[in-house]
Amino acid sequence: MQSRHTTGLKLFASLGALAVSIGFAAGAVAAPIAPQDVKIVDHKIDASLTGAAGNVEAGKKWFKGRKAGNCLACHENSDMASEAFHGEIGPSLDGVAGRYSEGQLRAILVNSKAVFGGETIMPSFYRANFGHRIAKSFKDKTILSAEQVEDVVAYLKTLGE
Amino acid sequence: MELKNKATVSALGVAFAALLVPGLLAGGEALALPEGIETVKVAPTSKDHPLDEILSGWHFRSPETQALQEDDFENPAFLWVEQGEELWSTVEGAANKSCSSCHDDASETMATAGANMPKWNEALGKPVNLEQQINHCRTERMEADAWKWESTQLLAMTAYVRNQSRGEPVAVQTDGPMKPWFEKGKDIYYTRVGQLDMACSSCHEGYYGQQIRADRLSQGQTNGFPTYRFKWQKIGSLHRRFKGCMKNIRATPYKVGSDEFLALELYTAWRGQGLPVEAPAVRQ
């Protein structure tokens, strides 16, 4: 009798926890906006893709990471002078926050083609399945996640004059 | 740029950095050209050519990498050339023949073949490249098994035969029955593929001479193939290189020896028309 009672209480308690976590997921922390739903207006995206601000330190990591943004492959960045090789394909990103607003930087990252035109070599980092012969392991995937885009945007905002 | 290179040398240690530091040193002393080569730069022969000047991949490499190609004794790819020379006169297959049974002295009979591939093959009704021609001879004339793509034997024979044509200007047929293959190759060259959404032209036409992280982009010329690559620690075929470039942009590559890569090989050979064959070259 005693033990059955305890079990009943435990069950009740965990159901309650479940209810709370479902409510939480649907409410406070919204899922990031899906790549196909992102709208670029006037070459900008004003709202965060995740609803939250990014993390500068994480943004640095994605900026350098060869398996992440690999931005350094194409852009020079004096803030990362300790890194061995900087690309020369795109413009230097020194002072980039002085040239573009946050919304413009986000749009450039999400879909460079929508900002620079279809001929640009710069990849679009938050678009999925738009090209030909995409390798199987990258099907349905964006190069960076919405969180990672926000992290990189937060980092780029620190590159002022 | 100069400063960055200096920083790198101290950071990575001279020996390692020596392989990576780009070759276009402003005001640097002139380097000896690869053995048997008189020029690494030619003018386009046709008005429709997309490039103003045609530059061998050698031009874009570090002085140390270039130096390894100056001298056949230093060039690590010559291990494969020597192996190819041995295989040239090795009898194999039911017909009891070797390459030399039909072709005799390679230095005479193969003096231009390596510069004119891919070439139209009437019997097959399609172009063949050097690897395919070698295997065609093996199966049809020697009655031996074809060598697998990227096998030591096929790489060795390709390197040996192409080396006989060293210094000969690349000249491929692009009209007549080759026309559709040329057009298909051109189409592949300019089609953006993969998650990174790039075409061959994005890198090799738009930005050659520029640094892309640790690599300096060349024009993607093919006159040095097969080439020895430090990254591979061995010699590799042109189609392996094509595959690598496609994988880097997260595309599903075509297969080595496929019609698509054959068409691309023809088209890229045309983009390098006039450059002397340098095979086997050395690359980073």
Provide the pLDDT confidence category of residue B20 given band limits of 50, 70 and 90: very low
Q: How far apart are the first and last CA of chain B?
A: 19
How much is the pLDDT for A29? 62
Q: Establish whether B137 is a catalytic residue.
A: no
Instruction: Note the pLDDT of residue B29.
Output: 53
Structure confidence at residue A11 (pLDDT): 42
Question: One-letter amino acid identity for B224?
Answer: G
Residue B277 CA to chain centroid, in angstroms?
Answer: 9
**Smallest CA–CA distance from A138 into chain B, residue:** B195
**Do B207 and B109 reside in the same domain of the chain?**
no
Give the mean pLDDT of A5-10. Answer: 42
**Do both B246 and B258 map to the same domain?**
yes
Choose among A152, A97, A160, A98: nearest CA to A126: A152
* Mean pLDDT within B102-120: 97
Helices B152-164 and B78-88 meet at what angle, rounded to 10? 90
The answer for residues whose C-beta is within 8 angstroms of residue A1's C-beta and 6 or more apart is: none
Which pLDDT score is estimated for B30? 60
Average pLDDT, chain B: 91
Q: Within 13 Å and on the Cβ side, how many CA atoms surround A70?
A: 17
Q: Using 50, 70 and 90 to split pLDDT, how confident is the model at B178?
A: very high
pLDDT tens, residue by residue, A68-124: 999 999 999 999 999 999 999 999 999 999 999 999 999 999 999 999 999 999 999
Rounded to whole angstroms, how far apart are CA atoms B70 and B95? 40
Q: Label the pairing between strands B234-236 and B227-229.
A: antiparallel
Q: Mapping DSSP to helix (H, G, I), strand (E, B) and coil, where does residue B126 land? A: strand
Residues B42, B107, single domain; the answer is: no
Mean pLDDT (whole number) for B269-278: 98
CATH code assigned at B85: 1.10.760.10
Nearest chain A CA: its distance from B258 CA (Å)? 16
Domains of chain A (ranges; CATH) run 2-156 (1.10.760.10)
Across the interface, whether the CB atoms of A133 and B252 are under 8 A apart is answered yes
Mean pLDDT over B67-83 rounds to 96
Question: How near does any CA of chain B get to the CA of A154, in Å?
Answer: 23
* CA distance to partner chain A, nearest, from residue B153 (Å): 30
Query: Could you give the dihedral angle defined by the CA atoms of residues B12, B30, B170 and B101, in that order, rounded to the nearest 10 degrees?
Result: -80
Rounded Cα distance between B217 and B215, Å, is: 6
Gyration radius from chain B CA atoms: 19
Region of A122 on the Ramachandran plot (φ > 0 left; ψ -120 to 50 alpha; else beta):
beta
Of the pLDDT bands very low, low, confident and very high (cuts 50, 70, 90), residue A130 is confident
Please give the residue of chain B at the shortest CA–CA distance from A73: B213
Tokens, residue B156: 């060795």
| DSSP assigned state of A73 | G
C-alpha closest to that of A63 among A153, A127, A130: A153
> Quick one: B126 and B173 in the same domain?
no
- pLDDT for residue B10 is more than 70: no
Higher-confidence position of B111 and B13 = B111
Which residue among A88, A133, A141 places its CB closest to the CB of B193? A133
Question: How is B208-277 classified by DSSP, letter by letter?
Answer: TTSEETTEE------TT-SEEETTTTEEE-HHHHHHHHHHHTTB-PPPTT-HHHHHHHHHHHHHTTTPBP
Are the C-beta atoms of B279 and B224 separated by less than 8 Å? yes
In this predicted model, what pLDDT tens digit does every residue of B35-50 receive, in sequence order? Answer: 999 999 999 988 889 9
Q: Residue B54 to residues A14, A77, A94, B268, B273: CA-CA distances in angstroms?
A: 71, 31, 34, 12, 8
Question: For residue A48, what is the DSSP state?
Answer: -
Last residue of a domain, one of B163, B184, B210: B163
Please say whether the beta carbons of B269 and B172 come within 8 A.
yes
Predicted confidence band of residue A56 (pLDDT cuts 50, 70, 90)? very high
Of A128-132, B131-135, B169-173, B255-259, which gets the smallest average pLDDT? A128-132
Q: Are residues B245 and B224 in the same domain?
A: yes
DSSP run (H or E) holding B55:
strand B54-55
Using DSSP bridges, classify how beta strands B227-229 and B282-283 pair: parallel, antiparallel or unpaired.
parallel
Lowest mean pLDDT among A22-26, A108-112, A144-148: A22-26
In terms of residue numbers, what domain contains B55? 4-75+168-283
Is B268 found in the same domain as B188?
Answer: yes
**A134: exposed, middle or buried (Cβ count in 10 Å: 0-12, 13-18, 19+):** buried
The structure tokens 């061998």 sit at B56
Extract the tokens encoding A77: 């960045």
User: Which residues in A lie closer than 8 A to residue B200 (C-beta atoms)?
Assistant: none
Nearest to B158 by CA among B149, B169, B171, B167: B149
Name the residue among B178, B196, B210 with its Cα closest to residue B245: B196
CA-to-CA distance for A45 and A110, rounded, in angstroms? 9
Same domain, B55 and B196: yes
pLDDT at B119 over 90: yes
Q: Are B72 and B147 in contact (CB under 8 A)?
A: no
Q: Say if residue B84 is in the same domain as residue B130.
A: yes
Q: Are B237 and B155 contacting, i.e. CB atoms less than 8 angstroms apart? A: yes
Same-domain pairing of B228 and B137:
no
B194: chain A residues, CB-CB within 8 Å: 131-135, 138
- Chain B interface test: which of A67, A88, A113 (most B C-beta within 10 Å): A88
Same domain, B111 and B217: no
Is the domain of B88 the same as that of B175? no
Report DSSP state, residue B139: I
Say yes or no for a CB contact (<8 Å) between B250 and A134.
yes
Q: Does the pLDDT at position B267 exceed 50? A: yes
ipTM above 0.95, yes or no: no
Final residue in a domain of this structure, among B129, B163, B197: B163
* In a shared domain, residues B67 and B208: yes
Q: What's the total number of domains in chain B? A: 2
